[in-house]
Amino acid sequence: MSDIERKNDRKKVLLGLTGGVAAYKAAELVRRLGDRGIEVHVVMTEAACGFITPATLQALSGHPVYTSMWDGRIENGMPHIELSRDKDAIVVAPATADFMAKAALGLADDLLSTLCLARDCPLIVAPAMNRQMWEHPATQRNVAQLKRDGVTILGPESGDQACGETGMGRMLEPDTLAEAVSAFLAPKILKGKRVLMTAGPTFEPIDAVRGITNRSSGKMGYALARAAIAAGAEVTLISGPVSLNAPFGAAVTRVQTAAEMFEAVKKHAAKADIFIGVAAVADYRTSAPRKHKIKKTEEDQLHISLVPNPDILGWIASRPKPPFCVGFAAESRNLDAYADEKRRRKKVRLMIANLAQHAIGADDNEVSMLDDNGTHRLPLASKDVVAQQIVAHIAGLCDSKARKSK
């Protein structure tokens, strides 16, 4: 694909800014959307210009910023029509209580509100306001009406507010918003599918302070959760201990040990269409963890008895009616051979293999995908990009399975 074709293939959003303090976050949001390959054009209300300048947004987006219904740069003199016609969505962030009231009533007294009324693309709104304004019955009625009208509401969340109070009404952070918008725009190749996933390491206690674990960061699993959500799936994520924010839109259960992870998987297995076992589950646990810290002595050696942990992937793949199962194999050598042996032994449809010394804790990954059709290699790329390619492959295999069953 040429550079021109890539540019033409990019998603385009119209980012609308209204007059809230959170308008300063729009600068970061423009950058984060751009990082995801989304082209951003900006429209600002008069009030928004009091918080952040159009020049800032123009510099970051690389496109002219529009603020007036009477802007002469649009040839036909109709910016309220033309600016949205080639866009994939309008995103209003921050969206004040006033803007949401106007949108719910269909009022159109400035460029942004008129654009939202005259659009033929989806509208996404990220509320930002004081907690009492958010909780007011009028605002809640407006939110309910917007949802009935098919508007997507992202947030708000609870937290510290510019007024010094704390509560619900804080706009979602730019990273979270960009992730959610990107997911909204992505092709829904897993629409209607329920995906159950595991991610991260497990921690098996030896005593009150020590334990058996590994260096898994959870980044690959969380990237796959984001990619599956973007593809339209309903995602349940069973996560070991990681230092990562939960993927927006995922139902997350946090666990520590392999036994806890196994119990969580068993709870959700019956409803899953697809299972992706990304977690680096400890193969062994101590047979009898000590309640208190084991004290070190000069003479004594410490002997710890280990017993096997449950094979989560093997269990779910051997169910009478298993979901479409995807496993992960982290090896240090003989990558494809070991991974394919694991795939055949556990009878899973797809095994993703990577070299542990290169992938664990890193932001990039290079994997082999092994299925009944052979080995498919994905070159080194960010884990988010690799995750999107894996999800596309899973969707293709699921479609193939569905066609064969008819």
Which residues are known catalytic residues?
Answer: 163
Nearest-5° Cα angle at 184, 180 to 188: 130
Q: How far apart are CA 103 and CA 325, in angstroms?
A: 44
Q: Is 255 exposed, middle or buried (0-12, 13-18, 19+ CB in 10 A)?
A: buried
DSSP 23: G
Measured in whole angstroms, how far is the alpha carbon of residue 213 from the centre of its chain? 25
d(CA 350, CA 359): 19
C-beta of residue 193 within 8 angstroms of C-beta of residue 234 = yes
Residue 289 dihedral angles phi and psi, to the nearest 5°: -60, 140
152 to 114, 124, 144, 321: CA distances (angstroms)? 18, 5, 11, 36
What is the rounded distance in angstroms from the CA atom of residue 176 to the CA atom of residue 219? 16
| 3 state SS of 89 | strand
Q: Bridge-partner residues for 41, per DSSP?
A: 14
Tokens of 98: 């006033």
CA atoms within 13 A on the CB side of 19: 9
25-35 and 54-61 helices, crossing angle to 10°: 10
d(CA 266, CA 322): 12
**Nearest-angstrom CA–CA distance, 93 and 181:** 11
